[in-house]
């Protein structure tokens, strides 16, 4: 009876006090997050404040100028970026998705060549972008004779992000449960019908998300394009895939290298434009992911 | 020794009553080097419900998946022996597995509706098979036959994943019916369902057996006893290397299997002494 009369729940469930370790661990996690966040915020506010005086219509209405930072703009770089990235998307997405379909749905993993391909796609994704620049210069610009043009830049950037597109698409395709494929095949559908009517539609959101993120990376690339003749004083918009071109990262790089203060402000303003394009693309990726998220 | 029990009791009281759809003779199924099922002889009767029962790993699902060549999809899987479908060798060189699966439908253990509307789930099979006729009528007919029409007729455009588990499974049955198969294979169709949904599916099976030949794999002996005309009891033999090989022990009318089994192992299993 004595046992029963003690307030048992109070005795057994009372908090022992969270150990110090728990607190420290949590603080470390928050601190890590804070470091990333604070630096991003500092960067954003810096370019915004610095570039604010020139963040107006002159930036996208005027062409670059070497003489006068007040009338210089980045129109040719903005259109150049849009040209290059659109052609990159047109070239990379079908190829990347097709490669992913092959690897996920058709490739027999017992064959050594399929394993070699798989391994090398992972490796390709890790190759520095400047190496792709050298490849583009040597093979696409010179051997294929495509010169310093939009198409050379697009093919090179396309090769650069292709492994990322393939890897992202494979993950999206693999996320479609095997039971969906079985259900389709059991109804007398062919393998291609099953892929095109069930697997692909179900994995499109994941593929789109991964592809947009891959293209965002391509937009920000300057290094390979430095080797591919993205000259920064192009005073006209590209009029086709064989035209000369420049892109925003190159234009920014060039302005920052100038000695006059006015060009530095211009560079910050152009960075804001580039960041806005990137943020829009990433938001589209997040929106797509949430909109079409599947719960099986 | 077991071969005697496999072949012995099958013939006598089934030969005259059976109008065979499938005749299985000496069927062994391999996954690579491993022989998962050994020497099965079985006959599936037209417009009957045949149940395949037995403990886990006895090869009953493996055998079921041979009937529509779904085992072809597993790398390294191979079937030896013969499965005759209306006298034609299902594994013959000229046989197209796509065509086999169109005629022999399948319902899986876990309901697997496509992430599409209810309507598109049903219409998918007829579409990929290029079937003619008014799609709306086909969909209504299939859903009616699967006893689901009244529950879903006002929400055909809704995503099929919004249905309950039992409704999803009936949708999968409707989806299989929509391509007008002759046979429906069911691989533990109720194992993911609650008792009420299970009862509905069992009633549906009885209903469907008037038009279709049904083969069902089940873990649930009461279910086999309730719904089937004939029952095949499988078990697994363990060989000297410790590998399990599924084999058919006894195949007979369900009433006889459950009241007067010939083989001791069948009796032990149905009386709950093992498995």
Q: Is B11 on the interface with A (CB under 8 A)?
A: no
CA distances from residue A20 to A13, A17, B169, B270 in whole angstroms, order as listed: 19, 9, 52, 59
Tokens describing residue B83: 């499965």
pLDDT given for residue A290 in this prediction: 83
Q: Is B102 on the interface with A (CB under 8 A)?
A: yes
pLDDT given for residue B95 in this prediction: 93
Whether B212 and B184 have beta carbons less than 8 Å apart is answered as yes
Number of separate domains in chain B: 1
Residue range A21-30: average pLDDT?
92
Domain-embedded: residue B275: no
CA distance A100 to B94: 31
pLDDT given for residue B11 in this prediction: 38
Q: Could you say which DSSP state residue A138 is in? A: I
pLDDT given for residue B133 in this prediction: 85
Residue in chain B nearest A295 by alpha carbon: B161
pLDDT given for residue A17 in this prediction: 67
CB contact under 8 A, B114 and A183: yes
**Which of A175, A180, A183 would best serve as a mutation to test chain B binding (most B beta carbons within 10 A)?**
A183
pLDDT (tens digit, 9 = 90+) per residue, A271-285? 999 999 999 988 988
Q: What is the pTM of this model?
A: 0.82
Q: What is the DSSP string of chain B?
A: -HHHHHHTTTTTTTTTT--EEEEEEEEEEEETTEEEEEEEEEEEETT-EEEEE-STTSSHHHHHHHHTTGGGGSTTEEEEEEEEETTEETT-TT--HHHHHHHEEEE-SS----SSBHHHHHHHHHHHTT--S-HHHHHHHHHHHTT-HHHHTT-TTSBGGGS-HHHHHHHHHHHHHHT--SEEEEESTTTTS-HHHHHHHHHHHHHHTTTSEEEEE-S-HHHHHHH-SEEEEEEEEE-TTS-EEEEEEEEEEHHHHHHS-SSHHHHHHHTTS--
Domain-embedded: residue B12: yes
pLDDT (tens digit, 9 = 90+) per residue, A231-268? 767 778 888 889 888 899 999 998 888 888 889 999 99
For residue B46, what are the domain limits? 2-270
CA distance A60 to A55: 9
Residue range A152-160: average pLDDT?
95
CA distance B62 to B65: 5
CB-based contacts of B214: which residues, under 8 Å, 6+ apart?
B48, B49, B50, B183, B184, B185, B186, B205, B208
Cα angle A167, A196, A162; round to 5: 25
pLDDT given for residue B8 in this prediction: 34
- Picking from A183, A185, A189, the nearest residue to B73 by CB comes out as A185
**Max Cα distance, chain B (Å):** 59
Q: Residue A207 burial (CB < 10 Å; 0-12/13-18/19+)?
A: buried
Tokens describing residue B195: 């008792």
pLDDT given for residue A7 in this prediction: 55
Q: Is A261 on the interface with B (CB under 8 A)?
A: no
Q: What is the DSSP string of B175-195?
A: HHHHT--SEEEEESTTTTS-H
CB-based contacts of A52: which residues, under 8 Å, 6+ apart?
A269
A–B interface: beta-carbon pairs under 8 A:
67
A182–chain B nearest CA distance, Å: 8
Pairing verdict, β B88-89 and B34-45: unpaired
CA distance B170 to A120: 45
pLDDT given for residue A71 in this prediction: 83
Q: Is A198 on the interface with B (CB under 8 A)?
A: yes
pLDDT (tens digit, 9 = 90+) per residue, A216-236? 999 988 889 988 877 767 778
Residue range A83-107: average pLDDT?
94
Average pLDDT, chain A: 88
More confident residue, B23 or A13: B23
pLDDT given for residue A16 in this prediction: 67
Residue range A160-183: average pLDDT?
95
Q: Which residues of B touch A180 (CB under 8 A)?
A: 112, 114-115
CA distance B171 to B88: 31
pLDDT given for residue A215 in this prediction: 93
Sign of CA dihedral A199, A205, A206, A210: positive
CA distance B96 to B88: 12
Given a cut of 70, is residue A296 above it in pLDDT?
A: no
Q: Which residues of B touch A114 (CB under 8 A)?
A: none
pLDDT tens digits in sequence order for chain B, 275 residues long: 333 333 333 433 444 467 899 999 999 999 988 999 999 999 999 999 999 999 888 999 999 999 999 999 888 899 999 999 998 999 999 999 999 999 999 999 999 999 999 999 999 999 999 988 899 999 999 999 999 999 999 999 999 999 999 999 999 999 999 999 999 999 999 998 899 999 999 999 999 999 999 999 998 889 999 999 999 999 988 888 888 899 999 999 999 999 989 998 998 888 887 64
Predicted confidence band at A68 (pLDDT cuts at 50, 70, 90)? confident
CA distance B49 to A5: 64
Q: Residue A36 burial (CB < 10 Å; 0-12/13-18/19+)?
A: exposed
CB contact under 8 A, B75 and A108: yes
CA distance B101 to B92: 15
CATH number at residue B92: 3.40.50.300
What 3-state DSSP class applies to A129? helix
CB-based contacts of B76: which residues, under 8 Å, 6+ apart?
B30, B31, B32
Domain-embedded: residue B111: yes
Rg (CA), chain B: 19
CA distance B48 to B202: 14
CA distance A177 to A131: 38
Domain-embedded: residue B10: yes
Predicted confidence band at A59 (pLDDT cuts at 50, 70, 90)? confident
pLDDT given for residue B6 in this prediction: 35
- Picking from B73, B101, B110, the nearest residue to A187 by CB comes out as B101
CA distance B173 to B145: 9
Given a cut of 60, is residue A25 above it in pLDDT?
A: yes
Residue range A167-177: average pLDDT?
95
Which domains are present in chain A?
A: 74-291 (1.10.3720.10)
Domain-embedded: residue B207: yes
Whether A77 and A248 have beta carbons less than 8 Å apart is answered as yes
CA distance A210 to A171: 9
ipTM for this model: 0.88
Cα angle B128, B130, B131; round to 5: 115
A69–chain B nearest CA distance, Å: 56
Q: Which residues of B touch A108 (CB under 8 A)?
A: 75
In residues, how long is chain B? Answer: 275
């Amino acid at each position: 009876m004595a046992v029963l009369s003690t307030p048992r729940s109070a005795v057994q469930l009372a908090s022992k006090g969270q150990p110090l370790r728990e607190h420290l661990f949590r603080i470390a996690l928050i601190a890590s997050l804070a470091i990333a966040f604070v630096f991003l915020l500092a960067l954003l506010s810096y370019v915004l404040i610095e570039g604010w005086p020139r963040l107006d219509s002159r930036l996208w209405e005027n062409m670059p100028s070497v003489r006068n930072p007040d009338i210089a703009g980045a129109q040719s770089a903005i259109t150049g970026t849009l040209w290059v990235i659109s052609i990159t998307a047109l070239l990379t997405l079908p190829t990347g998705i097709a490669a992913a379909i092959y690897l996920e749905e058709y490739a027999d993993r017992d064959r050594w060549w399929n394993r070699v391909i798989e391994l090398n796609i992972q490796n390709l994704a890790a190759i520095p972008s400047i190496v792709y620049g050298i490849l583009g210069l040597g093979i696409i610009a010179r051997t294929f004779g495509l010169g310093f043009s939009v198409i050379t830049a697009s093919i090179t950037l396309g090769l650069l992000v292709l492994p990322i597109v393939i890897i992202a698409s494979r993950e999206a395709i693999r996320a479609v449960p095997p039971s969906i494929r079985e259900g389709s095949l059991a109804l007398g559908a062919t393998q291609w019908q099953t892929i095109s009517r069930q697997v692909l539609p179900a994995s499109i959101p994941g593929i789109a998300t991964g592809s947009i993120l891959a293209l965002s990376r391509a937009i920000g690339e300057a290094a390979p394009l430095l080797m591919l003749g993205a000259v920064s004083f192009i005073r006209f918009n590209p009029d086709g895939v064989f035209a000369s071109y420049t892109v925003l990262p190159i234009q920014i790089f060039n302005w920052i290298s100038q000695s006059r203060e006015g060009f530095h402000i211009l560079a910050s303003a152009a960075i804001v434009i580039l960041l806005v394009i990137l943020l829009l693309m990433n938001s589209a990726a997040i929106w797509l992911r949430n909109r079409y998220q599947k719960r099986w | 020794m077991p071969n005697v029990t496999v072949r012995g009791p099958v013939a006598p009281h089934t030969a005259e009553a059976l109008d065979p759809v499938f005749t299985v003779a000496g069927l062994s199924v391999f996954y690579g080097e491993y022989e998962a099922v050994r020497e099965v002889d079985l006959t599936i009767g037209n417009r009957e419900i045949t149940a395949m029962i037995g403990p886990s790993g006895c090869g009953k699902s493996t055998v079921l998946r041979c009937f529509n060549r779904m085992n072809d999809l597993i790398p390294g899987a191979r079937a030896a022996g013969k499965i005759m479908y209306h006298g034609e060798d299902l594994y013959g060189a000229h046989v197209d597995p796509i065509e086999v699966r169109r005629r022999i439908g399948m319902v899986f253990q876990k309901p697997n509706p496509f992430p599409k509307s209810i309507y598109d789930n049903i219409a998918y099979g007829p579409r990929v098979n290029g079937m003619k006729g008014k799609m709306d009528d086909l969909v209504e007919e299939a859903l009616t036959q699967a006893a689901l029409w009244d529950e879903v007729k006002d929400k055909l455009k809704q995503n099929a994943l919004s249905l309950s588990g039992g409704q999803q499974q009936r949708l999968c049955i409707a989806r299989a019916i929509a391509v007008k198969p002759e046979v429906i294979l069911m691989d533990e169709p109720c194992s993911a369902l609650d008792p009420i949904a299970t009862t509905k599916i069992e009633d549906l099976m009885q209903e469907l057996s008037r038009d279709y030949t049904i083969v069902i794999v089940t873990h649930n002996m009461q279910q086999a006893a309730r719904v089937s005309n004939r029952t095949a009891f499988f078990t697994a033999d363990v060989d000297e290397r410790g590998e399990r090989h599924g084999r058919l022990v006894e195949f007979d009318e369900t009433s006889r299997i459950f009241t007067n089994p010939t083989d001791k192992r069948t009796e032990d299993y149905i009386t709950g002494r093992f498995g």
